[in-house]
Amino acid sequence: MRTVYFKNKPKIIATSTIAGPKECSGSIGKFFDTKLDDDMYGETSYEKAESRMLFTAIKNSMIHAKKNETDIDAIISGDLLNQIISSTFSARNFDCAYLGVYNACATFTEALTVGSAFVDGGYLNTVVCAASSHFASAERQYRFPLELGCTRPPQSQWTVTGAGSCVLSLSGNGPHISCATIGKIVDYGVTDANNMGAAMAPASACTLDRFFKDTDSSPGDYDLIVSGDLGTLGSRILKDLIWEKGYDIEKQHVDCGELVYNIAEQEYQGGSGAGCSALVFGSYLYDRLKSGKLKKIVLMATGALLSSVSTQQGESIPGIAHAVLIEV
């Protein structure tokens, strides 16, 4: 486990986001590019709606970057559905090379890391990195049917309906990715599939600790330390765990899951899902980076690597987190 440095500074030249009605009414809703009134998005199934959302996000990010399909060397994307069907089905619309990645909710920073490595190494010129999730399709895969009357436990999170895409390139303007810490899988034995914050927090603390050590920096050096979808409870655990390792991130830390909904809305711990970090980064954070209000942020998406099968077999939930440093 170590940090890789990108000397040629791959730049994020454009982003695009799309989100469902619930996300749009949240605290950063006004920053999203495409706001949907209906999370079916005119399709006949939630899976189709999710692929179409990802397709729209990728397409719009290409338009924002003023690139044609022929200029794009590869699309790297992932989502939460089995065999990442949303990503592959949306990619069949593009005449581009495609790489599918999956690290549950950490997919977005994984895609950014892989994309940056290709671009920095000079193997590919322009790469699109994207991730998506959809509340209804995730719910029916991981949990219960939507119409089943059951109470959500207070530690549960709400899967974000949304997709975010960004275009990485060496030429062009925009904030650049200067390094990435590839995380390792950490499992402390949490088995409660509703408590993903607690399952992911140890992995995020591990990655963040490694990141600070490798870059020889402290939390005060960054404007923001953004975690993916730990939620309120997971964020608290992360702060406690990283404090034990000698870092105080209280001032710099924000969580995409907490940002995306108004917490007063009873979403319990906030948002989750692969689309969560992609959506928040592609809209609000990118906007702030472009306008210079933020200069140096650590984006660390976290993933809970469970499946409905592993949960039923009583397995614990391994967590993972990948961090990327984004500077103006």
Partner 1 sequence: MKTSADCVNNNYMKYVSAVSPRTNEKRSLFRSFWVGGFICCIGQSVRYFFEYVCGLTGDELGAYVSMVMIFLGAILTGFGIYDRIGKYAGGGSIVPITGFANSVVSPAMEFKTEGFVYGVAAKMFIIAGPIIVFGIASGVLVGLIYYIGYRIF
Partner 2 sequence: MQIFLMYLKVFAVGGAICTVAQLLINYTKITAARILVLFLLSGVVLQAVGLYQYIVDFAGAGATVPISGFGYLLSKGAIEGAKESLFKALTGGITAAGMGITAAIVFGYLVSLIFKSRSKKN
Say how far apart CA 212 and CA 116 lie, in whole Å: 20
Q: Check binding of 95 to partner 2 (CB under 8 A).
A: no
- Shortest Å, Cβ 263 to partner 2: 13
191 sits near partner 1 (criterion: CB under 8 A): yes
- With CB under 5 to 8 Å by kind, the binding choice for 82 among partner 1, partner 2, none is none
Interacting partner of 40 out of partner 1, partner 2, none (Cβ under 5 to 8 A depending on kind): partner 2
Taking the least distance from each CB to partner 2, the nearer of 183 and 197 is 197
- The residue among 270, 262, 206 whose CA lies nearest residue 232 is 270
What phi, psi does 8 have (nearest 5°)?
-85, 5
CB burial class (10 A; 0-12, 13-18, 19+) of residue 195?
buried
CB of 292 to partner 1, least distance (A): 37
217 vs 262 by CB, closer to partner 2: 262
Residue 108 phi/psi, 5-degree rounding, is -65, -50
Distance CA 314, CA 166 (A): 37
Q: Which of 146, 173, 218, 243 binds partner 1 (CB under 8 A)?
A: 146
Residue 81 found at the interface with partner 1 (CB under 8 A)? no
The option from partner 2, partner 1, none interacting with 187 (CB < 5 to 8 A, set by class) reads: partner 1
Place of tokens 């977005």: 108
- Judged by CB under 8 A, does residue 102 bind partner 2? no
Q: Is residue 168 close enough to count as binding partner 1 by CB under 8 A? A: no
Q: Does 263 help bind partner 2 (rule: CB under 8 A)?
A: no
Start-to-end CA span in the chain (Å)? 26
Measured CA to CA, the distance from residue 219 to residue 32 in angstroms comes to 28
Q: Which stretch binds partner 2 (CB under 8 A): 85-93, 143-151, 175-183, 300-308?
A: 143-151
SS3 annotation, 31-86: HCCEECCCCCCCCCCHHHHHHHHHHHHHHHHHHHCCCCHHHCCEEEEEECCHHHHH
Question: Is residue 233 within 8 Å of residue 197, measured between CB atoms?
Answer: yes
Task: Please say which residue, 61 or 161, places its beta carbon nearer to partner 2.
Answer: 161
Beta-bridged to residue 32, according to DSSP, are none
Query: Which member of 32, 158, 268, 284 binds partner 1 (CB under 8 A)?
Result: 268
Per CB under 8 A, the segment of 163-171, 174-182, 238-246, 263-271 that binds partner 2 is 263-271
Out of 30, 66, 152, 293, name the contact with partner 1 by CB under 8 A: 152
Site string for partner 1, 278-307 (x = CB under 8 A): ------------------------------
